[in-house]
Structure 1
Amino acid sequence: MNDAAPRLAALAETLMGAPLPVRIRVWDGSEAGPLGGPILVLNNRRALRRILWKPGELGLARAWVAGDLTVDGDLFELLDRVGGLLWERDREPAPEPSAGKGAGPAALLRDPRSRAAVRGLVGLARPWTKPAPPPEEAVRRGGPRHTKGSDRRAISHHYDVGNTFYERVLGPSMVYSCAYWTPGGSLEDAQRDKLDLVCRKLALGPGDRLLDVGCGWGSMALHAAREYGVKVTGITLSGEQAAYARKRVAEEGLADLVEIRVQDYRDVKDGPYDAVSSIGMAEHVGAERYRTYAHTLYGLLRPGGRLLNHQIARRPEPDEEAYRIDAFIDAYVFPDGELSPLGTTVGELERAGFEVRDVEALREHYALTLRAWVARLEDHWEEAQRLTSPGRARVWQLYMAASALAFEHNRLGVNQVLAVRTGKRSASGMPLRAREWPA
């Protein structure tokens, strides 16, 4: 008798206190829930076990990464409908259940009204064994976060997955940060315009020295050298990125202007620079290291030098002590990555001595960028799985799609902060009218 889906739907609705937001299809072929729209597919009982053993976003994400949980239809629409099930942080962490008597999702069992429903779900999920996490999950090591060694390992986990894979997702620009869109423009146009906007905000000119922190595959360094005659030092912790960037530099004949290093920003000692660009790198710094980051970049600039800090921001918490790092992102995407509110970032830059002169919000631009990346990934889906693994491709698909929605719904923002190391006479060199950046 194929009735697992109606039984699962009834139990889930009891726990949620509301109807299912999407239709479900389960391992016996049965379906339940509202008609129309995408269908959430539990391909086997292990999908349910993963969700029960780790209630919240991490269990759901593990089921997705392993292929136990899939979607028939539009992924964006499904994520939009389920909303907080995957992406709202749990306010109280649930401990892993033990394997002995009473094993189960402890957080749910605290509510006596839900116990019968939980027991029913456990019965559907049997055999009651703990599934191993998919292998794409980051390997945790002991010790403090954001040391030079731990940062290098975290960067390697995310970026050293194959340059060809990133070519398929990012396109020819190989820019892995928010683009700057005009209506009807292409991803390539938008990424070129973003790099040019950064160069103009930094007032770059021939002979200037630019430090590009977190240079990725070299796109910003190449643009600044080619279009503005700038001498660029690009630094990254990814060996694969550095090799790719150096090859591009050589192919464009810009070796006299661009140097690419595998180097931590804390180890750069050859200032002063006229400008520093940090595009999508500061998210990896960590809250406890951000003051070091700001002071280091301040010390590397000459008086009057400019910093362009392009960084994702989260919305402030009512109680900032309650903030917890996103479990799925930490385990599968950006280990040790931390997001701060915009006000925190601006405050730390000011404490380091910078004068903050301009802040530009690009939230909607990142949603468009992420949707473009998801489309490219899905267009190259079979190849992307071969280049990495099916699980890793599913990680990227999920995190980019959900992140696009987070930007669209104002759960995340992204901002370009222009700051100046003012000289003894406090001259900033800024134009009198804001945002009249020279073309």
Structure 2
Amino acid sequence: MADIEERTARRRHMYGTRDLAALPVFAGGFINFGYWRDVDLSGPITVEQRVATQEALYDVVLDALALRPGDRVVEVGCGHGVGTRRALRHDPALVRGLDLVPEQVARATAANDDPRVAFARGAAHDMPFDDGAFDALLSVEAAQHFEDVAGFAREGARVLAGGGRFALTTFFATSAAAAPELVAAVESFATGLDLAHPVDDVLGHLRAAGFADVAAVSIGEHVWRGLDRWLELGPRPDHWDRAYHRAARRGLVDYYLVTARKPAGSGV
């Protein structure tokens, strides 16, 4: 696998210069595999349906956060900010998006017209926000890139107020034993674009950071088959293959909703 500098440069190219959101495999400014529960996979799939699956994945996470009017919300790994702004449906007091790639921050800022929303550049393990600044933190299909998941967990606990809620969704290795096989099976893991974080390690980092009620639920049944069907039928870049679904069928990787809570009496 490439070293950290090469991995960082590859992500900067993919998300910055290349802009993954512009690829046909995605749509609508989103960059996620989608949540396909309500899509009929037996027939054609439209671009509109593809966009709806990406919105639906955000809604899974936002619903898990149980957002309330007046909440202060942050998304870590916000990309174009399309999903970040979806939190506005819950009438928050403010919403912030954080991304490591400056081009993504610029795109998100240029597309935003709501004064409650702002975007900043920063790393998941070193967030440019005050202690206790938020009531809810979300991350959608970004944590597979994080070089320092333990640092992300600590920073998440720091920027959340007591009683704050945490929810992320993405794909992780199903176990430490599966991680090397996953790297060998899927090109994005082999090149280091994605990192094969075992899901139990992620949960352990959240607990070590002081989070309570830490849990992971598989939602892969509503992700892998739909994504694979889209790749089979729909427009896609030439390099894109269907190895994710094959790896999921082998039990090497799964798509998870991870939730946690900062105890009300801890910190800010």
Within a 5 Å distance, the mapping from 1:230-249 to structure 2 comes to 230=92, 231-249=94-112
Q: Which sections of structure 2, spanning at least 5 residues, go unmatched?
A: 42-48
Deviations 1:224-271 (A, max 9, x none): 02x112211101122332232223213xxx1x1111122223132324
Residue 358 of structure 1 and its aligned partner are, at CA, apart by 4.1
Q: 2:139 aligns with which of 265, 278, 295?
A: 278
Residue 312 of structure 1 corresponds to 171
Residue 78 of structure 2 corresponds to 215
Contact 1:361 / 1:415 at 8 angstroms: preserved in 2? yes
Contact 1:305 / 1:421 at 8 angstroms: preserved in 2? yes
Q: 2:247 aligns with which of 406, 428, 431?
A: 406
Seen in structure 2, the aligned counterparts of structure 1 residues 150 and 270 have a Cα distance that, compared at 3 Å, is farther
Matched, 1:353 2:213: no
Q: 1:369 aligns with which of 208, 224, 227?
A: 227
Contact 2:99 / 2:122 at 8 angstroms: preserved in 1? yes
**Greater helix share, structure number:** 1
Seen in structure 2, the aligned counterparts of structure 1 residues 331 and 409 have a Cα distance that, compared at 3 Å, is closer
Contact 2:182 / 2:196 at 8 angstroms: preserved in 1? no
The normalised TM-score by structure 1 is: 0.52
Residue 416 of structure 1 corresponds to 257
Q: 1:228 aligns with which of 90, 93, 104?
A: 90
Matched, 1:299 2:158: yes
In structure 2, C-alpha distance between the alignment counterparts of 1:331 and 1:338, rounded to whole Å: 9
Say which SS state the counterpart of residue 78 (structure 2) adopts.
Answer: coil
Residue 342 of structure 1 corresponds to 199
Residue 418 of structure 1 and its aligned partner are, at CA, apart by 0.9
Q: 1:268 aligns with which of 128, 138, 144?
A: 128
Within a 5 Å distance, the mapping from 1:35-46 to structure 2 comes to none
Residue 44 of structure 2 corresponds to none
Structure 2 residue identity aligned to 1:340: H
The normalised TM-score by structure 2 is: 0.81
In structure 2, C-alpha distance between the alignment counterparts of 1:323 and 1:163, rounded to whole Å: 29
Matched, 1:192 2:55: yes
Q: 1:166 aligns with which of 12, 22, 31?
A: 22
Contact 1:152 / 1:238 at 8 angstroms: preserved in 2? no
Contact 2:189 / 2:196 at 8 angstroms: preserved in 1? no
Which structure: larger Rg? 1
In structure 1, C-alpha distance between the alignment counterparts of 2:77 and 2:91, rounded to whole Å: 20
Q: Percent identity at matched positions?
A: 20
Say which SS state the counterpart of residue 24 (structure 2) adopts.
Answer: helix
Contact 1:249 / 1:258 at 8 angstroms: preserved in 2? yes
Residue 158 of structure 1 and its aligned partner are, at CA, apart by 2.1
Structure 2 residue identity aligned to 1:394: D
Contact 2:135 / 2:164 at 8 angstroms: preserved in 1? yes
Say which SS state the counterpart of residue 169 (structure 2) adopts.
Answer: strand
Deviations 1:124-164 (A, max 9, x none): xxxxxxxxxxxxxx9x6xxx63xxx7665242132124348
Deviations 1:280-334 (A, max 9, x none): 1111123xx22212111111111100110213121325498x67844832565x4
Structure 2 residue identity aligned to 1:351: A
In structure 2, C-alpha distance between the alignment counterparts of 1:163 and 1:376, rounded to whole Å: 19
Structure 2 residue identity aligned to 1:203: A
RMSD (Å) for aligned C-alpha atoms: 2.9
In structure 2, C-alpha distance between the alignment counterparts of 1:352 and 1:329, rounded to whole Å: 29
Say which SS state the counterpart of residue 157 (structure 2) adopts.
Answer: helix
Structure 1 residue identity aligned to 2:164: G
How many residues get paired?
254
In structure 2, C-alpha distance between the alignment counterparts of 1:237 and 1:359, rounded to whole Å: 25
Matched, 1:179 2:35: yes
**Greater strand share, structure number:** 2
Say which SS state the counterpart of residue 223 (structure 2) adopts.
Answer: helix
Structure 1 residue identity aligned to 2:120: R
Contact 2:21 / 2:31 at 8 angstroms: preserved in 1? no
Residue 11 of structure 2 corresponds to 155
In structure 1, C-alpha distance between the alignment counterparts of 2:234 and 2:182, rounded to whole Å: 31
In structure 2, C-alpha distance between the alignment counterparts of 1:347 and 1:164, rounded to whole Å: 31
